[in-house]
Structure 1
Amino acid sequence: MKIKYIPILVFYLAMCFSINAQQHKNDNRSPEFNVAPYFNYSTTIGAGFGLVPMYSFYVDKNDMQSPRSILGVVGYYTTNNSWAVVNFGSFFFDKDKWRIVYGIAIDNYNFQTYVQNQGSGDDFLDYATESDVITLDVKRKIFGKVYFGLGYTYQHSKTDFEGDLSDINTELNILKFEVFRDARDDINYPKNGSLLKLQFNHLPKWIGNSELSNVLIINYNRYIGVVDNRDIVALRFHTKSGLKNVHFQQQVVVGGVDLRGYSDGKYRGDGMLDIQGEYRWNFRNKLRLSAVGFAGLGTLYGSDTEDFNWSLYPSIGAGIRWTALTKSHINVGLDVGFGKDDWGIYFRFKEAF
């Protein structure tokens, strides 16, 4: 069987089996549990398989303003021996005045980075990274739809490069400050509204970082309901800027949520800017299936390869979705993206943005 047909088969079979795990209660405020399949494919890590059990619930069933909270686990293994286990949770309470998000992850990731060698041609350098990550974010509504958040992320990574390059042992202690305006009509599957977010990551030396470093992230997402509010046009602007002493593990690698279709790790730098749009089709069917089409364009700066700086990186693709948790409208699915001389298949939990 050709590799391009495997994700479709895996997604369909796992979807059929996991329908039996869905709770069908008339009480819309009762908890909900399901197990979704995980699959992705890239030219670097190969095919990845796993499972994503999810549980959604209300912290206070009498709170009619807070969205459902969610707990979940992601576990996967790839054909190049990469693996990861992630536990995550998002909690909403007190009439959505408070939001708490946490994540715990361990992984072993075999990837590559692009190296420009003068006089001997260009090549990719393989590396393996072992990481432990703990993150916690607490957000409080301050007025209207505006929130202020404080967070902390601890990451310990050991990166082993092939050849004679020295290994990198990195310990990051990240203080996160964010302000955002959440005017979406739904946090999981918005059909109208917008989300504007400014986040400042500060890595001071006094809490154990080897160097002072700062990163600024700005996102703006806009959602427009069309076709009697059944389908959605989603638009996004994103920028991530390393302001000083950007560590290898903090660098931007083109691909993933922004500019799907880049999976070989070639384009890496200190910052990027991009725009993208997505059309989300919602079909009337009992299988809870839907589809997306997307396109985007971005640029990169701060790369060690000068030719990569400020070049344009297009992205185009499409995907399928299945509503795993109906009461929260949480979708899972697969996206196939195509970039500049590259492509990839991406597992999607919720929407890309």
Structure 2
Amino acid sequence: MNGKSIVALLFAVSLSSGVSAQEQIPAADSAGRSTVPAETVLASDSVPAKRNHFFRRFYNYFKNANEDKTLTKKFDFSVIGGPHYSSDTKLGLGLVAAGLFRMDRTDMITPPSNISLFGDITTTGFYLLGVRGNLIFRDTKHRLDFTTYFFSFPSAFWGIGHYAAEHNTPSSYKRFQTQFKIDYMTRVARNLYVGVNGSFQYVAGSNFTNIEQLGGQKTFYTNTGLGAFVLYDSRDVINNAYRGIYAKIDQRFFPKFIGNNGTFYHTEVNFNAYHKLWKGAVMAYDFYGVVNKGDTPWTMLALLGGSYRMRGYYEGRYRDNDMVEIQAELRQRIYGRSGAAVWVGAGNVFPNFGSFKLNQTLPNYGIGYRWEFKKRVNVRLDYGFGKRGNNSFLFQINEAF
């Protein structure tokens, strides 16, 4: 979902239970006389009690949403969403349900786990539904991260490589994709983890207006991979770090004998760092690299752009075997639960390191608004700018990195 767009409205829904009988009955003394002050009774006469109760609960929901309720509740669940408009997907409605909880309620030192359900639907026929989560076990000795989603999207395809993205007329096609990825890790030293992962992806393209841009590849692929990784993570909070380092090297193997069209290898390198500058200000840095070797299908190539890196670029316009991206973002708390962010970045796609061209590096910058919906869980509204009119408005939950 890229292109120029405007969020028209944000709304939240509290899933708390209804009002209790005690809340509906005014207090009284032993003689049956009301103990409610006269001015309160007059106010109740002018505003229906039920209506007053609804708005009071609505106000309190927003007022207290960012408190850490995992200390008193088994599952702190909330929903937030909003309509949006973009030149690609037209009018749509996005929804995110976020939950915080603790795997061991006797351990209040370990950060809470989180899970979120996200969905979107638009007037062009785009729809998306997915779940992502981070399960943190006692003393952070073990961790399980997962994400799964499926979507259908009237999309565009320029071809493969930087030159194709710059000069080709995009082919329109319909893309259906479903994906699942899971990482399990165990701590071997302070903040150092080793782990294994698995992934599954199915992508099917149809109704291509210029199928020659696929270069003879099939319109659909199923890819199943297994891998291992090393992770160093000293962040104070996973989804909204104020300090710490996150560094991960992930190597995945997609052999032909487990259903892949051909054997290929996929390597990801990710490095993030966070530190405080002054009161309410956090500086965040991100480096990300992808290398593919072997018979990599067009559905598994590195894609530049999207909601997390190179924000503003149409995700997949620039695609190739390899990619490097870097960004730096300043996040500033302004007042109460409101904040702002500004960032600059750059990225490049290329077939191999021997073909890397510095002059093909793409610029990126943008500005955003932050609102702390739950404790250390931000709703972000970002507007990103890039080369050749690649600008877009993004509505997401949690920080980009």
After TM superposition, the score normalised by the length of structure 2 is: 0.77
CA distance in 1, matches of 2:224, 2:122: 29
Counterpart in the other structure of 1:337: 384
Tell me if structure 2 keeps the 8 A contact 1:43–1:344: no
Work out which of the residue numbers 292, 302, 312 in structure 2 matches 1:242. Answer: 292
SS in 2 for 1:277: strand
Where does 1:55-204 land on structure 2 (aligned, <5 Å)? 55-115=99-159, 122-163=168-209, 165=211, 168-204=219-255
Tell me if structure 1 keeps the 8 A contact 2:304–2:315: no
CA distance in 2, matches of 1:208, 1:4: 40
**Per residue, is there more helix in 1 or in 2?**
2
Q: What is the number of residues matched between the two proteins?
A: 340
Counterpart in the other structure of 1:6: 6
CA distance change for structure 1 residues 323 and 227 in 2, over 3 Å: closer, same or farther?
same
Q: Does 1:351 align with 2:399?
A: yes
Tell me if structure 2 keeps the 8 A contact 1:193–1:223: yes
SS in 2 for 1:206: helix
What percentage of residue pairs aligned between the two structures are identical? 24
Tell me if structure 2 keeps the 8 A contact 1:32–1:325: no
Q: Does 1:37 align with 2:78?
A: no
Listed one character per residue, the Cα deviations across residues 88-144 of structure 1 (whole Å, up to 9, x for unaligned) are 2221112111111223322112211114999xx731111112122222221111111
CA distance in 1, matches of 2:284, 2:314: 23
Tell me if structure 2 keeps the 8 A contact 1:301–1:310: no
Worse-matched range after superposition: 339-348 or 127-136:
127-136
Listed one character per residue, the Cα deviations across residues 159-214 of structure 1 (whole Å, up to 9, x for unaligned) are 11423638512111011321110011222221111111111121011211111111
Listed one character per residue, the Cα deviations across residues 25-73 of structure 1 (whole Å, up to 9, x for unaligned) are 7865133221121566554334542211111111111123422112221
CA distance in 2, matches of 1:269, 1:10: 37
1:351 to partner: Cα distance: 0.7
Counterpart in the other structure of 1:51: 95
CA distance in 2, matches of 1:193, 1:266: 33
After TM superposition, the score normalised by the length of structure 1 is: 0.87
Tell me if structure 2 keeps the 8 A contact 1:115–1:123: no
SS in 2 for 1:198: strand
Counterpart in the other structure of 2:258: 207
Structure 2 alignment gaps of length 5 or more? 14-54, 212-216
CA distance change for structure 1 residues 151 and 18 in 2, over 3 Å: closer, same or farther?
farther
CA distance in 2, matches of 1:192, 1:24: 20
CA distance in 2, matches of 1:26, 1:252: 38
CA distance in 1, matches of 2:84, 2:144: 28
Work out which of the residue numbers 223, 229, 233 in structure 1 matches 2:283. Answer: 233
Listed one character per residue, the Cα deviations across residues 320-340 of structure 1 (whole Å, up to 9, x for unaligned) are 1121222xx111221100000
Tell me if structure 1 keeps the 8 A contact 2:282–2:330: yes
CA distance in 1, matches of 2:68, 2:385: 42
SS in 2 for 1:272: strand
Structure 1 alignment gaps of length 5 or more? none
